[in-house]
């Protein structure tokens, strides 16, 4: 049974080491679910004195004003033999046997966080005391409730203290040790006011009455101690601590405890209550009660821990693993990211994801429609044919067939094909660009790295531009090739009517309508033939230069660039959203805490 308090002590220490002091809603808190005894009371009500009496040692800072400015988690460990000593969590290697130095260390450590400004801080100080004269017990000392700021403390300190104290006593798992001085009307007690607010049934409040020895002659606190003036579920406990004069004379704590026992045993007012009065008794009651509360809460703490571990692990999965700090690991991450992107991008092209089909649409619809719209009719109108022939013939009309004019008319017509070919190149380029954009958005792994995402996207688009340029040149060459060398076969097969059928040709006949129409129609037929050819060849060229290259070598240049980068540049490229990085490290720290708490509890529970 005794190990239960020790168990909670270990988990409490882990909480502080891993930054869980409760009160931070952004992360799950284990600290707040741990049962603890919290000491509350107005200033000079005797809080420090009660703690020291329970410990049997003189070790807390004293003075006027707000001395306790950080929570002090005081963990008492009963030992069988050996001298008393103390240890701080923040000084793990150091054993204090001189308790005056413990007091000084508490003061120094308080200032270390709060500075000289005398502010308060929620970061607890953990102090463990090992002694034969203590019971196993953990108590948290908090700043005393106060009404006015002194010593140049900010005005807000009054409210800040109340909020801090409240955040502790509000928790269902907190046992409230409410300290009130007997020489003051209980109705004005700050401790009881707060306790009643957060624990109206008085189920988890222990009322402690100090300074019984300082009451006016002829008065006593029987009404309070017997529970008549203020009802609590737990019996009230009266204590008599050292007076200021005792403190000044350094009266030994063990001597003070004996005197306290004698006080109750010999007091005519309290003799009948003597067996359940005094600080030693208080320590024993609290120890037992804390054990019982812990025991009752362990199952719910365990299920909370398991639930939180699942939640934190799920969140960490979503956030992704942290990136390596060495250049090799970073390069690996970069390549992994590229691979992930490439995988998604290929799915768009090869099917599996929609979008690649739009490329076929360009070849099947857009290109033929554009070719169909070309103004061959206008170019091969009788007027234009006549004009071209006349220009080509010059002063000497052609004799048999207008060879020169044929060439010019064909060249001119084929020139129009550049437009649709280039449009096909561009259309496919824009589709590919759109698919790159989609693939980047759809690659989950990239979401973490906005900088890298931008670089990858720029590199991919740059590569697509290069492919477009190659493709454009290639398609132009296809058209130029057709214009540059005509298929002789075709013209040889044409019926040679002009020469054979009209032996009496005149120059006028050479420019006659029938003749011109025939020439136009011959050219048009040839051009149509070439169009059919190019409607097949352009898609092949486009796929070869753009689509195939996008699949094969979209990131080749990028890889080459990355290979030349140094560790620092890689790290810069992989800079994550800082908020996300913070969140990940906070979550993984918290996860460590919950896991170690789970192991601690399992070890103790299995032991039983
Ligand atoms: P805190 O501000 O609540 O921590 O109060 P302290 O423990 O520092 O006590 C304030 C003053 O009251 C000190 O001078 C103590 O010696 C004195 N005091 C506390 N409890 C008792 C008591 O039971 N009897 C007497 N005579 N003095 C006490
Ligand atoms: Mg004090």
Say whether both 279 and 306 belong to one domain: yes
Distance from C-alpha of 252 to C-alpha of 16, rounded to nearest angstrom: 33
Residue from 243, 247, 260 whose mutation best tests the ligand 1 pocket (most atoms within 8 A of CB): 243
Is 422 contained in some domain?
yes
Distance from C-alpha of 195 to C-alpha of 207, rounded to nearest angstrom: 9
- What distance in angstroms lies between residue 120's CA and the mean position of ligand 2's atoms? 14
Structure confidence at residue 497 (pLDDT): 53
Say whether both 241 and 367 belong to one domain: no
502 is in which domain, residue-wise?
327-575
Number of domains in the chain: 2
Nearest partner of 269 among 203, 221, 234, judged by Cα = 221
Could you tell me the CATH number of the domain that includes residue 353?
Answer: 1.20.120.1240
Which three-class secondary structure state does DSSP give residue 53?
Answer: helix
Is 584 contained in some domain?
no
Atom of ligand 1 nearest to the CA of 246: 16
The pocket around ligand 1, CB under 6 angstroms, is made up of 41, 43-49, 62, 144, 210-211, 213-214, 240-244, 247
Say whether both 386 and 530 belong to one domain: yes
- What distance in angstroms lies between residue 250's CA and the mean position of ligand 1's atoms? 14
Is 589 contained in some domain?
no
Q: Which ligand is nearest to the CA of 239?
A: 1
Say whether both 396 and 269 belong to one domain: no
Q: Which ligand is nearest to the CA of 143?
A: 2
Name 126's bridge partners: 73
Say whether both 262 and 360 belong to one domain: no
Q: Which ligand is nearest to the CA of 44?
A: 1
Distance from C-alpha of 608 to C-alpha of 604, rounded to nearest angstrom: 7
Structure confidence at residue 28 (pLDDT): 86
Say whether both 556 and 425 belong to one domain: yes
DSSP string over 176-223: EEEEEETTS-GGG-HHHHHHHHH-TT-SSEEEEEE-GGGSPTT---HH
Say whether both 222 and 370 belong to one domain: no
Alpha-carbon torsion, ordered 490, 495, 499, 503, to 10 deg: 180
Say whether both 444 and 465 belong to one domain: yes
Phi then psi dihedrals of residue 91, to 5 deg: -130, 70
Is 587 contained in some domain?
no
Residue from 39, 46, 210 whose mutation best tests the ligand 1 pocket (most atoms within 8 A of CB): 46
Q: Provide the residue count of the chain.
A: 608
Q: Whose CA is nearest to atom 2 of ligand 1?
A: 44
Say whether both 411 and 471 belong to one domain: yes
Structure confidence at residue 144 (pLDDT): 86
Is 586 contained in some domain?
no
Say whether both 174 and 222 belong to one domain: yes
Name 209's bridge partners: 180, 238
Q: What is the pLDDT of residues 404-445, one digit of tens each?
A: 999 999 999 999 999 999 999 999 999 999 999 999 999 988
Q: Look up the pTM and report it.
A: 0.66
Q: For tokens 């365990």, what's the residue?
A: 302
Is 470 contained in some domain?
yes
CA 233, distance to chain mean position in Å, is: 45
Distance from C-alpha of 426 to C-alpha of 469, rounded to nearest angstrom: 10
Which of the residues in the chain have pLDDT under 70? 1-3, 23-25, 65, 116-117, 151, 496-511, 606-608
> Which residues have a Cβ under 8 Å from the Cβ of 10 and sit 6 or more positions away?
600
Q: What is the pLDDT of residues 330-363, one digit of tens each?
A: 889 899 999 999 999 999 998 888 888 999 999 9
Is 279 contained in some domain?
yes
Could you tell me the CATH number of the domain that includes residue 178?
Answer: 3.40.50.300
Is 582 contained in some domain?
no
C-alpha Rg value of the chain to the nearest Å = 46
- What distance in angstroms lies between residue 44's CA and the mean position of ligand 2's atoms? 7
Give ∠ CA 558-561-566 in degrees, rounded to 5. 130
Angle between helices 279-319 and 3-17 (to 10 degrees): 50
> Which residues have a Cβ under 8 Å from the Cβ of 452 and sit 6 or more positions away?
334, 337, 446, 573, 574
Give ∠ CA 92-97-103 in degrees, rounded to 5. 80
Say whether both 384 and 480 belong to one domain: yes
Say whether both 369 and 507 belong to one domain: yes
């Amino acid at each position: 049974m005794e190990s239960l308090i020790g168990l909670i002590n270990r988990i409490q220490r882990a909480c502080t080491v891993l930054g869980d002091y409760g009160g931070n809603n952004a992360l799950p808190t284990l600290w707040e679910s741990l049962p603890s005894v919290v000491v509350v009371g107005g200033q000079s009500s005797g809080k420090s004195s009660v703690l020291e009496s329970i410990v049997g040692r003189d070790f807390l800072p004293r003075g006027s004003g707000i001395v306790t400015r950080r929570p002090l988690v005081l963990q008492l460990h009963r030992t069988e033999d050996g001298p008393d000593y103390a240890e701080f969590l923040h000084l793990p290697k150091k054993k204090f046997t001189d308790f005056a130095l413990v007091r000084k260390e508490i003061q120094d450590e308080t200032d270390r966080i709060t500075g000289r400004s005398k502010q308060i801080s929620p970061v607890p100080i953990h102090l463990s005391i090992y002694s034969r004269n203590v019971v196993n017990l953990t108590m948290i000392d908090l700043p005393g409730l106060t009404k006015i700021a002194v010593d140049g403390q900010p005005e807000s300190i009054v409210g800040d203290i109340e909020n801090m104290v409240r955040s502790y006593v509000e928790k269902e798992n907190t046992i409230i040790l409410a300290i009130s001085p007997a020489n003051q009307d209980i109705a004005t007690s700050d401790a009881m006011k707060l306790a009643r607010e957060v624990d109206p049934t008085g189920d988890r409040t222990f009322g402690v009455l100090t300074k019984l020895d300082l009451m006016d002659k002829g008065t006593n606190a029987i009404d309070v101690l017997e529970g008549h003036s203020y009802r609590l579920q737990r019996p009230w406990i009266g204590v008599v601590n050292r007076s200021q004069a005792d403190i000044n004379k350094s009266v030994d704590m063990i001597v003070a405890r004996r005197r306290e026992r004698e006080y109750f045993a010999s007091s005519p007012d309290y003799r009948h209550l003597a067996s359940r009065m005094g600080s030693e008794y208080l320590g024993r009651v609290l120890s037992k009660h804390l054990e019982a509360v812990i025991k009752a809460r362990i199952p719910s703490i365990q299920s909370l821990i398991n639930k939180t571990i699942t939640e934190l692990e799920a969140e960490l999965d979503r956030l992704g693993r942290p990136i390596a700090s060495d250049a090799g690991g970073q390069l690996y991450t970069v390549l992994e990211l590229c691979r992930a992107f490439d995988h998604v991008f290929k799915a768009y092209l090869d099917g599996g994801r929609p979008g690649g089909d739009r490329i076929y649409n360009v070849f099947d619809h857009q290109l033929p429609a554009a070719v169909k719209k070309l103004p061959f009719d206008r170019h091969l109108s009788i007027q234009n044919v006549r004009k071209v022939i006349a220009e080509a013939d010059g002063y000497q009309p052609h004799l048999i067939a207008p060879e020169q004019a044929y060439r010019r008319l064909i060249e001119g017509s084929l020139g129009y094909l550049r437009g649709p070919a280039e449009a096909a190149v561009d259309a496919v380029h824009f589709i590919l660009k759109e698919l790159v954009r989609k693939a980047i958005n759809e690659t989950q792994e990239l979401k973490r790295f906005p900088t890298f995402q931008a670089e990858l996207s720029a590199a991919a688009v740059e590569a697509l531009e290069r492919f477009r340029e190659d493709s454009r040149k290639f398609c132009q060459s296809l058209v130029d090739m057709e214009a540059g060398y005509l298929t002789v076969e075709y013209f040889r097969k044409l019926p040679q009517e002009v020469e054979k059928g009209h032996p009496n040709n005149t120059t006028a006949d050479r420019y006659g309508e029938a003749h011109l129409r025939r020439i136009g129609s011959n050219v048009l037929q040839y051009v149509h033939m070439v169009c059919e050819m190019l409607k097949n060849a352009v898609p092949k060229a486009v796929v070869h230069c753009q689509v195939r290259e996008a699949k094969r070598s979209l990131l080749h240049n990028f890889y080459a660039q990355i290979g030349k980068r140094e560790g620092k540049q890689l790290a810069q490229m992989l800079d994550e959203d800082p908020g996300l990085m913070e969140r990940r490290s906070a979550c993984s720290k918290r996860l460590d805490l919950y896991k170690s708490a789970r192991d601690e509890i399992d070890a103790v529970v299995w032991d039983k």
